[in-house]
Amino acid sequence: MTADRSALSVLGAARPDTAYSCRQGFCGTCRVGVLSGGDSVRHHGSSTARRTRDAMLVCVSRAEAGARLVLDV
């Protein structure tokens, strides 16, 4: 996963069946577990878009620059 692409775009390329809906961080459909690493949320309009301790919304998040992000998919 790279810092210039959303986690959803990377997952969608590898797993076309990745669930998503709004692409804005509101619905929570794309929430996946985070096993390790740092991520950056690119949309702050919704409290549901905020990363929890062990999950993130892949439609509005991406790996932090230089960080490795491991997701539980």
User: Look-up: residue for tokens 């590898």?
Assistant: 14
Q: Report which of 72, 60, 64 is spatially closest to residue 29, judged by C-alpha positions.
A: 60
Domain 7-72 CATH (choose: 3.10.20.30, 3.40.50.880, 3.40.30.10, 3.90.79.10) = 3.10.20.30
Contacts for 60 with CB less than 8 Å, ≥ 6 apart: 6, 23, 24, 25, 41, 42, 43, 49
Task: Check the CA dihedral 19-28-22-40 and report its sign.
Answer: negative
Residue 7 has pLDDT above 80, yes or no: yes
Read off the pLDDT of residues 13-72 as tens digits, 9 standing for 90 and up: 999 999 999 888 888 899 998 888 877 765 544 555 555 668 888 888 888 878 888 889
